[in-house]
Amino acid sequence: LLKVIDEHGKTIYRVQLPKEGRCIFLGWEPSGAALAAVQDHGGAFLWFPSKPDCVQQWEGMQFSSRATAKKNAHFHTCFAEWSTMRKLVLGLADGNFACWDLASNETFISRKHFAGKHKGAITCGAWGGRGAILALGSKNQIKVSKPLMNASWESTAAKLALPDNELSFQDLNFSPSGQTLSALAGTSIFRHLCLYAVREQLAELASRASSRSSFSGILTGGGGGGGVDGDKAVLMPVGEMRPDATIGGIQAVLWLDNEMCVAVTSNGYLRFMQYAPGDGALLEEQHKPCGGGVTAACLLKTTGHIAIVTPGKISFFDAIRLEVVATAAIPPCPDGIRNIKLQPCESGTKLFL
């Protein structure tokens, strides 16, 4: 069921989505012009405030309007994400992806014959460079391309060299400048974090560079391969973070405006990491602002605070003063239920838990 309500709790629109499907993504286009509800079988169901009486179902290259949505077994979606430039990308189980530009209404879908396509399901992705760069990840590959312009991706695979065959990329995020990419791989409390520097360099650097991480891929692009920006680009591993008994598992990865990556762990630790390109070094610092039992965290972009959820409260950590400056009590969860996501609204005046 998709239900849209206003700030007073009044229902504006509701529609029954296919009962066989599972919702994997719900998100507003950044300007608020469209809401996308994405199911694993059925593509994206789009609701527009300007046309509040129906949803449109988008399945790659076609749209349809209907009062009740239907399942599409041939369009198996595993991942979805809006860009800041009003583009929606869907990652598919067969290794292809689809992209829709809201501004121009242009659509694109990759095809099986494209060289360099993912061999497995696309499980994660990230937009960088204000929507000009798209990174997509599958089980053991990350590939970067300029969407809608060139999606063939020859020679752009970065291999995830971990021994456990069950591990796969689960989450990707670019830094604000797009010069660094964070990648989470694994499952549950055993997820690992790796940082990649996105560089334009000579392709032969890739063959000479030695890996410093168990995420040991070198991603290269060039010569029609849809590289990051320019003819030659490499994705170099520059740092890694593993869970352990002291810090616990990685619950969230956040990027601050100053290119600082912050990993929030289940035992209440914050690991600050910043790559210094000039020195080729990763600067690290660790703090413990709260107790254990962390289940979610997010960045409040309007104030720069990091909000951290623990049992019974939300703590607000000041990343400059390096201390908790406020807390807010939250009601306890019923038995068998836990808080799993914390998200601020665009204005920064409300938090959704």
3-class secondary structure, 208 = helix
Structure tokens belonging to residue 312: 């019974």
Distance CA 252, CA 185 (A): 12
Cα angle 251, 253, 258; round to 5: 150
How many of the other CB atoms lie within 10 Å of CB of 337? 8
pLDDT of residue 34: 94
pLDDT of residue 64: 59
Task: Give the position of tokens 């079988």.
Answer: 41
pLDDT of residue 223: 36
Top-ranked range on mean pLDDT: pick from 21-25, 41-45, 158-162: 21-25
Distance CA 2, CA 19 (A): 11
How many of the other CB atoms lie within 10 Å of CB of 179? 17
pLDDT of residue 63: 60
Q: Of 24-28, 294-298, 333-337, where does mean pLDDT reach its minimum?
A: 333-337
Residue 208 has pLDDT above 50, yes or no: no
Query: Of 163, 212, 208, 250, nearest to 196 (Cα)?
Result: 212
Task: Give the position of tokens 């912050």.
Answer: 262
Task: Indicate the length of the chain as a whole number.
Answer: 353
Band (112; pLDDT cuts 50, 70, 90) = low
Structure tokens belonging to residue 345: 């609204």
pLDDT of residue 62: 58
- Runs of H (alpha helix) within the chain: 204-208
Is residue 182 within 8 Å of residue 193, measured between CB atoms?
A: yes
3-class secondary structure, 189 = helix
**pLDDT, averaged across the chain:** 80
Residue 75: DSSP 8-state: -
pTM reported for the whole predicted model: 0.82
Top-ranked range on mean pLDDT: pick from 126-135, 300-309, 332-341: 300-309
Residue 249 has pLDDT above 90, yes or no: yes
**Amino acid identity for residue 224 in this structure:** G
pLDDT of residue 115: 58
Distance CA 126, CA 172 (A): 5
> In the sheet where 141-145 sits, what is the strand order?
124-128, 133-137, 141-145, 158-159
pLDDT of residue 140: 78
How many of the other CB atoms lie within 10 Å of CB of 26? 12
Average pLDDT, stretch 328-344?
89
pLDDT of residue 69: 53
3-class secondary structure, 190 = helix
Average pLDDT, stretch 93-122?
80
Band (309; pLDDT cuts 50, 70, 90) = very high
Encode pLDDT of 138-187 as tens digits.
887 888 776 555 444 444 444 444 555 556 788 999 999 888 999 998 87
Percent of the residues in the chain that have a pLDDT greater than 90, as a whole number: 41
